[in-house]
Amino acid sequence: MPSPLAHTLAGLTVHVAAARDEEELFDLRRLGVFVFAANAPDLDFLLNLFDGRNHHQQETHSVGFAALCALASAALFRLWRWPRPFALGVSAGAAWLTHIVLDFLNHDTNPPIGLMALWPFSHEYYKFPWPVFLDVGRTFTWRTVRHDLLAGAWEALVLLPVLWLAWRLGRRRFLGSGR
């Protein structure tokens, strides 16, 4: 699985791409929502504390859960009277979906291999045959830390240009709209 750094960069990219003006771009609440949504599928690690089973990369790592995130987020944003609740909900779902895409593109070394990307339509595990991202270790040995730093550097090298592109296109859009 990619590191929280990769998921955070993906959430920031969705935030930047979804902002329609500079006010939204610099809204820390929106930014927090999208970064949280991009990292949230990994909260399934906490379920292990309750029943001792590995729940990682199962239902929370699926398009079905991303859709649930979008619907629940839109309802909450409407309840909280945030502007454009439906658009924000869809964007939160998109941020959740980035997590699934990044995990699909990684080198997976922890069973179950792959993720239930198409739940609830399928309970099969899917894995990209040519990994783009390195796995991230879950121990604190020097070898693992060194490997994880390399994995994080690679994630930044791949994802920072995507974030920069979203920023540039957004700035062009803001300047073109007279704002």
Residue 179 predicted with pLDDT over 60: no
**pLDDT tens digits for 144-172?**
999 999 999 999 999 999 999 999 988 77
- The whole-number average pLDDT for the span 24-37 is 96
**pLDDT bracket for residue 48 (50, 70, 90):** confident
**pLDDT tens digits for 53-85?**
777 788 899 999 999 999 999 999 999 999 999
Residue 178 predicted with pLDDT over 70: no
Are the beta carbons of 78 and 133 closer than 8 angstroms?
no
Give percent of the chain with pLDDT exceeding 70: 96
The mean pLDDT of the chain is: 91
Residue 130 predicted with pLDDT over 90: yes
Residue 175 predicted with pLDDT over 70: no
